[in-house]
Structure 1
Amino acid sequence: MFQDLTVPELRDMRDRKELTIVDVRSPSEFADATIPGSVNIPFFDDAERAEIGTLYKQRGMAEAKRRGLELMSAKLPAFIAEFAALPGKIALFCWRGGGRSRTTATLLGLMDIHCYRVAGGYREYRRWVVETLETYRLDKPAYVLHGNTGTGKTAILRQLAEEGYPVLDLEGFACHRGSIFGDVGLRGSNQKTFDAELLETLLRFERAPYVIMEAESRRIGKCTMPQFLMDAKESGVPIRLELPMPARVRHIVQDYRPAEHKEACLHAFKIIKPRMHTPVAKEIQQSIGQDRFDVAAELLLEHYYDPRYEHGADRYDQERERLVRARTEQEALDGVRAALPDVQA
């Protein structure tokens, strides 16, 4: 027999590193959104799930179950072997805690592999995320990284996160860089994934003295930040980065890899092209087409991104600003580190 877990029980056991969470939904469902930290061992793959769904609609439940049994019987040994290879305890879930997770748990039990099942499945986890974020209050100060495009804010945040600082990597949650070119080379997250990653990180930092975040717009790619984070950005301690133009251009070319994503860069540029002075826009488009990406990046910074940043730079309390002027990315990282309180404070 298997035992059901509530979402708080699941998270508590996961945080104590006592179990592996398994999503038994199809690969496309898993790719769309899942419980963070899960692995995917699908009960049916996408084609099988589509076939079963069609049979259910056209010929009824009995025929769909019969075909499902045929499909599962053929791959049952390999399916069970994947679970047997997992370390520690297992908790599994499907969409709503129904047939796929119940059948998997029963099969595993017959092979003496004990497992837990997430009550209500992913649907219940998503409900918990939404309700928790709706009532969440950020009861600690935020240190907010500002700076022109190309100053390496995201790279700095990720290095600080590796060092144990309480970083909210909003662009990482959204899988988007927060600009017109933000999804170049990336597959943007949806709101479900963004919300789950954000909430899990916030709860992990409940005892931290502060959080660090970038000064993002409310919308990052396909995702929207909750109001409490917008409030934290407005009331937070601003840290503004300044980096020379050559270093910024170098960082942009390294980060966006336009040689690998030339068509995506041209597509993104055409969106903002009408907003720019015609001769400059023409030179940028030609530079991208001729693989002179450093020239294109500098022109975009000088004639589009920097003016837009300056227009919005007075939206925070400049008297509280902590300015970091640096010549290199390493100096910028050191400067931001020095502007932050000790993480143990």
Structure 2
Amino acid sequence: MFQDISLQELFKQQQKGELTAIDVRSPKEFQETTIPGSINIPVFTDDERSEVGTLYNQKSKEAAEQRGLEIISAKLPDFIHAFQQIDTPKVVFCWRGGMRSKTAATVTDLMGMDVSRLQGGIRSYREWVVNELEKANFPPSIVVLNGNTGTGKTTILHRLWENGYPVIDLEGMAGHKGSIFGHIGVDPANQKQFDARLIHAIHQYENAPFVLMEGESKRIGNVAIPTFLNEKKEHSLQLFIDLPMEQRIRNILEDYQPWNHPDAFLEAYRRIQKRIHTPVAKQIDNDLQTGYYSQAIRQLLDYYYDPRYEHTTEKYPADQTKHIHAANVDEATSQIEQWLVTMYS
């Protein structure tokens, strides 16, 4: 007979790589929010879940259970096969540890697999995330990477992480690159997804002496950074990265590749077009339509992004800032590493 396990035991075994968490809810539910690191093997498709739910609400619990049993019985061989491809112990969960996770745990246990069920399901997990964020506690110092658009802040963060430094990638968690074009070509997160990713990172680095983050406003795309973390970030040391204009343009082209999403870029630009002086705004619009992306980016930096960014450097006192002047991302990363060694060794 399968056993129920707690959230604490789930996290402990996940961190050791000794367990695979399996979300057996429908694909739509899984996409909305799940426990980071879990995979989706649904008991019901989205349509099947809707059908069973309708029976539950309009007829009876018994009718819903009967229809649910008919559905899972028909797909049982494929369902079992999917579980058999996983060679670690497994824990299954649904919304609140009810019929779907019980069914999944029961049938896989009968097939001799090492399976458990999460107590309380993902509802208890979401309650835990909310409670943890309400504690408003993050002990490490924060080092914030700032810089004009195109200075490669995200790339630098990723390289520092690859080199073993503690990094929390807020844009990556949000699924948004932070600019008016930041949603293009990526999968934006909702608030529940962002909160879950963030709290796991907070726990991962709670004993680190410092953590690197990118300078962001309180909102990133669809999500908001918790107030306690945003305020601590604003009162932390700010590293301002300065790269030449030509290098910034190359960084933006490489990162965004607007030629792959020309219509989306034009649509996004037109949402801010009225904030730019009319003759320049028309020229940018024309450059985006005709594929002169380098020229369009140069003018967007000159007439929109750089002027909006000027106030950022002015709002921090001198003893809270350090400037990194470099020719490119590689050089900036190297300088930051040398400074971190000096500061925290």
What's the TM-score, normalizing by structure 1? 0.97
In structure 2, relative to structure 1, the CA distance for the partners of 1:192 and 1:281 (3 Å cut) is same
Distance 2:306 2:339 in 1: 24
Matches within 5 A, 1:44-59: 44-59=44-59
* 1:334 aligned residue: 334
Residue 221 of structure 1 is matched in structure 2 by 221
Alpha-carbon distance between aligned partners in 2 of 1:341 and 1:204, rounded to the nearest angstrom: 21
Maintained 8 Å contact 2:284/2:296: yes
Contact 1:25 1:100 in 2 (8 A): yes
Q: How do 1:1-345 residues align onto structure 2 when only pairs under 5 Å count?
A: 1-341=1-341, 345=345
How many residues are aligned here? 345
Question: C-alpha separation between the residues in 1 aligned to 2:320 and 2:64?
Answer: 64
Partner secondary structure for residue 260 of structure 2: coil
* Distance in 1 of aligned mates of 2:109 and 2:75: 17
Q: Distance in 1 between matches of 2:126 and 2:81?
A: 29
* TM-score normalised to structure 2 length: 0.97
Bigger drift between 207-216 and 65-74 goes to: 65-74
Give the Cα separation in 2 of the matches to 1:70 and 1:295. 61
**Structure 1 gap ranges (5+):** none
Q: Following TM superposition, by how much is the alpha carbon of 1:342 offset from its aligned partner in structure 2, in angstroms?
A: 6.8
CA contact (8 A) 1:239 1:339 kept: no
Give the match's secondary structure for 1:341. helix
* Gap regions ≥5 residues in structure 2: none
- RMSD after superposition: 1.4
Deviation at 1:45, TM superposition (A): 1.2
Kept in 1, the 8 Å contact 2:21–2:38? The answer is yes
User: Is the partner of 1:238 in helix, strand or coil?
Assistant: strand
CA 1:214–1:329 in 2, change beyond 3 Å: closer, same or farther? Answer: same
SS at match of 2:213: strand
Deviation at 1:158, TM superposition (A): 1.1
Sort the Cα spacing of 1:74 and 1:343 in 2 relative to 1 into closer, same or farther, 3 A.
farther
Q: Could you say what secondary structure the match of 1:254 adopts?
A: helix
Deviations 1:233-252 (A, max 9, x none): 12211111000111111111
Distance 1:336 1:289, change over 3 A: same
Q: 1:322, 1:339 within 8 Å by CA — same for their partners in 2? A: no
Q: Counterparts of 1:119 and 1:344 in 2: how far apart (Å)?
A: 41
- Secondary structure in 2 matching 1:133: helix
Give the drift of 1:316.
1.7
CA distance in 2 between partners of 1:316 and 1:181 (Å): 27
Residues 43-86 of structure 1, C-alpha deviations (whole Å, 9 max, x = no match): 11112112222233333323222222221111101101111221
- What is the rounded CA distance, in whole Å, between the counterparts of 1:28 and 1:41 in structure 2? 12
Distance 1:21 1:94, change over 3 A: same
Matched letter for residue 270 of structure 1: R
Amino acid at match of 1:138: F
SS at structure 1 position matched to 2:259: coil
User: What is the DSSP-based 3-state SS (H/G/I as helix, E as strand, rest coil) of the residue aligned with 1:340?
Assistant: helix
Is 2:236–2:320's contact at 8 Å kept on the other side of the alignment? no
Query: How far is the alpha carbon of 1:312 from its aligned partner?
Result: 2.5
CA distance in 1, matches of 2:30, 2:342: 38
| One-letter amino acid matched to 1:241 | I
Deviations 1:136-175 (A, max 9, x none): 3122211110100000001110111122211010000101
Measured at CA, do residues 342 and 205 of structure 1 come closer, stay the same or move farther in structure 2, by a change above 3 Å? farther
